[in-house]
Amino acid sequence: MRILNWPFLLLIPLIIFLFFFYKKKGAALKFPSINMLMSGGMKRTILHKIGRYLMVLGLLAATAAMARPQSVNVYGTGSQSGIDIVVLLDVSISMQSIDFKPNRLEVAKDTIDSFITKRSQDRIALVVFKATAHTLIPLTHDHNILRDTLRDTGDDSVVEDGTAIGMAMVVGLNRLKNSDAASKVIILVTDGENNSGDVNPGTAAEMARELGIKVYPIGVGTDKMILPIEGTNDYETYPNGIDEDLMKHIAEITGGKYYRVNKSHVLSDVFSDIDKLEKTEFEQGVAYEYTELGFVYIKIALIFLALGIFMDRFLYIRIP
């Protein structure tokens, strides 16, 4: 809480002093008889003072309202610790294979989404690729927009089909090369072999090593690829085309680790490895929201004053 007009609070002890310690000498009234005195009012008890106490509380609440108290809500923190991560997601046609239910791409998206929710302190970027690669979301702490974008990602996110692993890695490296994070990671999720693009994945892996960036390749899919035949309800089966030797080579050069995911829960092993990486700190803005509380104190003051005046002047009659 903060007080904008705090000098008004100095009136509070003055009000309390006047109520408890200042005694006003009342005027004397003469009654010709005891009977008239008894009929002039009720006997004074502690109940007679309730009205006055309520009026004083009302004055105190009104004084507090004039001081303009405000509640303060803080959003964000001064800094967050974490690592920089770029997720490279293959969205080629082969990722529509139904050997994973409902298909490889949806399982990969769900697993990545779960990963994002567990990495609240990290900056994460999302890059999609087929025959070409481009960034959907740059490195960010805003995981809500990241997850929304991931949810809308499909095989139409990139037009030309193919699997440009080397090109995707270069796009990811460009996102990380100026990072100040102590740990920089690329997670490569694919189900195929490099067959597009002008960059050799081995060359991209050497670049990653020079930049101190670890690459975790993840081969998604079983031994068979099952794709729907367009215009029918039938499916056609193809041999799986993951270039595991290439994936292992990339991991070895960069100091990462290769994972073969033929079941979705295997990806959790990646999370435990990344959790062990070194942390660093990023400055993050802090937003403050102020809410006026004066109106609440005014309502309280009006209620106390109304009740106090009623009880003091009408309900209980005081004899001076």
Query: Over the stretch 216-254, which tens digit does the pLDDT of each residue have?
Result: 999 988 888 888 777 777 888 888 778 899 999 999 999
* Beta-bridge mates of residue 218: 189, 259
Residues 6+ apart with CB under 8 A from 175: 86, 125, 127, 135, 138, 139
* Beta-bridge mates of residue 186: 86, 215
- Cα(68)–Cα(32) distance, rounded to whole angstroms? 53
Per cent of the chain over pLDDT 90 is 38
Please tell me whether the overall predicted TM-score, pTM, comes out greater than 0.85 for this model: no
Length, in residues, of the chain: 320
Kindly report the backbone phi and psi dihedral angles of residue 31, in degrees, each rounded to the nearest multiple of 5, phi listed first: -115, 130
Q: In whole angstroms, how far apart are CA 4 and each of 289, 295, 302?
A: 14, 14, 22
- 1, two tokens: 């809480």
Average pLDDT over residues 104-112: 91
| pLDDT tens-digit readout, 21-76 | 766 555 555 545 545 444 444 445 555 678 778 888 888 889 888 888 888 887 66
Average pLDDT over residues 126-142: 96
Residue type, 313: R
Tokens 């006997």 appear where? Answer: 43
Q: In whole angstroms, how far apart are CA 165 and each of 3, 129, 134, 171?
A: 58, 8, 12, 10
Q: How confident is the model at residue 202 (pLDDT cuts 50, 70, 90)?
A: very high
CB–CB of 84/183 below 8 Å?
yes
- Cα(170)–Cα(305) distance, rounded to whole angstroms? 72
Checking DSSP bridges between strand 133-140 and strand 123-129, what pairing results, if any? antiparallel
CB–CB of 140/123 below 8 Å?
yes
- Cα(186)–Cα(166) distance, rounded to whole angstroms? 12
CB–CB of 215/249 below 8 Å?
no
- Cα(99)–Cα(296) distance, rounded to whole angstroms? 61
Q: For the purposes of burial, counting CB atoms within 10 Å of the CB of 205, is it exposed (0-12), middle (13-18) or buried (19 or more)?
A: buried
Tokens 């690459």 appear where? Answer: 215
Terminal-residue alpha carbon distance, the chain: 43
Q: In whole angstroms, how far apart are CA 69 and each of 62, 151, 293, 298, 301?
A: 12, 43, 6, 11, 14
Residue 44 in 3-state DSSP?
coil
Question: Hey, what domains does the chain have and what are their CATH numbers?
Answer: 2-74+288-315 (no CATH), 79-283 (3.40.50.410)
- Give the chain's mean pLDDT: 83
